[in-house]
Structure 1
Amino acid sequence: LNRLESKWGQQYPIVLRSWRNKWENLSVYFKYPEYVRKAIYTTNAIEAVHRQFRKLTKTKGGFPSENSLLKRLYAGILNASKKWTMPIQNWNMTLSQLAIHFDGRL
């Protein structure tokens, strides 16, 4: 963090201050192996899901219940997942590491 701040601190002082204030939580990220960190910070898959959610909900003015929204999102993800063909690199190793770190929650 010190090296990062020496290089980028002048350009991004607010970001670096925020990272310093939250470093105890942020530093946990670096305890994971590199392939797990890559799966975490690679947001393309997450962005694709968010894009799909926006497409499903933007034309609908409202939903009668939370359950109806969840059903629509679930059906949309099932449909969209048929088009997802690119696997995440080292996913099996990543999944096993996440299962160890988050025992009982994965």
Structure 2
Amino acid sequence: MTTKEQQEFEKKVLYQFMSGKSLFGADGAFAPMLRNVIERALEAEIDSHLDSDERSKGNKRNCKGKKKLKSGFGFFDIETPEDRQSSFQPELVKKRQTILADNLSKKIIGLYSIE
């Protein structure tokens, strides 16, 4: 996160906190952090899945799907990577999973603690 992005984030957090708005949920300041970490982790998972053996079988990235997740902090949307042969089985957010474990949400937000 650049210094400017950090400043904008802190400004949004402070505004939402002072105005009594929720910091969580689709419009909350913390939703983009959750979404970014989860999407990056899913990208790493599919990169690992599509090793040279899988690619030699003709499997490769196909597109991205959309999924609405519910966490202890509200709802937010993520994009999930997919492969051509539909053999990718993500571990962080499994297929058809719509509820994110509360402890995972708290750990992700803890990674972004403001100093």
- What TM-score, normalized by structure 2, do the two folds share? 0.33
Per residue, is there more helix in 1 or in 2? 1
- What TM-score, normalized by structure 1, do the two folds share? 0.35
- CA radius of gyration, larger in: 1
Per residue, is there more strand in 1 or in 2? 2
